Amino acid sequence: MKVFFSDRAFASVLAETTEKIKTETGGLFLGKVVGDSWYIVEAIDPGPKSVFEVAYFEYDKNYTQHLINKIANLYQEKLELIGLWHRHPGSFDHFSSTDDGTNAKYASMRKEGAISGLVNIDPTFRFTMYHVARPCAYRKIAYEVGDDLIPDELLKYKTPDRFYDLMKKRLSGSSRRRSAEPEYTVSVSLESFMEFILPQLGNECEDPTIENDISEEELQMKLTEGIIDDLTFMVDTVGIRVEAVIKEQFLVISQETVDKTTRIYFMYQQEKDQIIFSYGDKCYQYHSGLFQQASIKAAQEKAEQANAEQANAEQEKAEQANAEQAQPDKPDKEKKQKGLFGTVKKIIPFRKDEK
């Protein structure tokens, strides 16, 4: 197995690393998998709203999706999202547990898995490429750079004739009717997630007033930094489709479903240097990672409860069987845990351009 970069894709990685030399950064790979060869035709940057910190990095998803569509549309062959890369501080050329999650997500998108690269500057540029087999098994693989190593048809743009043809098709209106119909997707409901974790949240706040005299940017930073971990957890791990927007003093996380809109309002109290949030008609104290911790606790409680119920049931059965027959003792705990969030799903309308 081997990776082949086009000259342009490799230059893009070098350019991005150079621009953000002091922080962690990264990007996505567009190309094609042919047998054992991973051809990277384009490497796109993570976007202006991505988060760069040492050892932490997050893509600007709207931007990257936009760019993937734009760039892929230029090429004759259909380019696909086949992998990603990011920079690590120092000489650390293995993946963190956060990286495992991200890599597993990309690997799950195709049967061949994905490739994931790590850049280190120690003190010169070094690129370690890994193949990520599903669900998340790593193998180091070699790479080479050069347009001459890439099949010609992968580097070809659509011809003008092909574009003229596509223009004609789009003008004919057959696609307009289709896009007027709303499309729907099924997602885990924000409401059911909140009901699940609420009993674990504890401290309600006594004084929900907010009086801040810090700048809007500073306020937005405080709120964004405070909830980014939980937001990532909710979207990537739990699979809740939400929108996060900043409105005046609030950071609002919302989910619009066919039958209702669920909203959580996060606010910053400067006096106490504390984030609070309101959900339903109550207000709670918040700290970074609270939702993830609460959901782990809730899951543990639910699993314990299920185990206790099962133990009871088994004991009864065992008594009934009068200890004559051996009892199968294979708890289906795994199955039960998987269903924790998945049981309540909601239909969510979404814009076509989100796809």
State the residues that interact with Zn ion by CB under 5 A: 96, 99
**Least distance between Zn ion and beta carbon 240 (Å):** 24
Name the closest residue to Zn ion (Cβ): 99
Rounded CA separation 18/44 (Å): 14
Minimum CB distance to Zn ion smaller for 24 or for 191: 24
> How big is the CA angle at 236 (ends 222 and 198), to the nearest 5 degrees?
65
Is 107 or 276 the residue whose CB approaches Zn ion more closely?
Answer: 107
Contact criterion met (CB below 8 Å) for 278 and 252: no
75 bridge partner residues: 157
336 touches 306 (CB < 8 A): yes
Shortest Å distance, C-beta 102 to Zn ion: 8
The CB-of-99 to Zn ion minimum distance in angstroms stands at: 4
Q: How far is the CB of 263 from Zn ion (least distance, A)?
A: 32
User: Is 135 or 280 the residue whose CB approaches Zn ion more closely?
Assistant: 135
User: Least distance (Å) from Zn ion to the CB of residue 225?
Assistant: 19
Kindly state the smallest distance separating residue 43's Cβ from Zn ion, in Å: 17
Task: Give the whole-angstrom CA distance, residue 289 versus residue 307.
Answer: 27
| Secondary structure class of 84 (helix, strand, coil) | strand
Q: What is the DSSP track for 179-228? A: HHS-EEEEEE-HHHHHHHHGGG---B-S-------S-HHHHHHHHHHHHH
The SS3 call for residue 305 is helix
Strand partners, 84: 28, 116
Q: Which CB sits closer to Zn ion, 99 or 191?
A: 99
| CA 63, 65, 71, 73 torsion-angle sign | negative
Half-sphere exposure of 147 (CA within 13 A, CB side): 8
Choice between 96 and 305, CB closer to Zn ion: 96
Task: Indicate the residue among 42 and 99 with the shorter CB distance to Zn ion.
Answer: 99
DSSP alpha helix (H) spans, the chain: 7-19, 61-72, 97-107, 152-155, 160-171, 174-180, 190-197, 216-232, 290-320, 333-342
Closer to Zn ion by CB, 96 or 325: give it.
96
Nearer of residues 92 and 157 to Zn ion, judged by Cβ? 92
- Provide DSSP, 31-65: EEEETTEEEEEEEE---TT-EEETTEEE--HHHHH
CB of 92 to Zn ion, least distance (A): 8
Q: What is the nearest approach in angstroms of Zn ion to the Cβ of residue 24?
A: 7
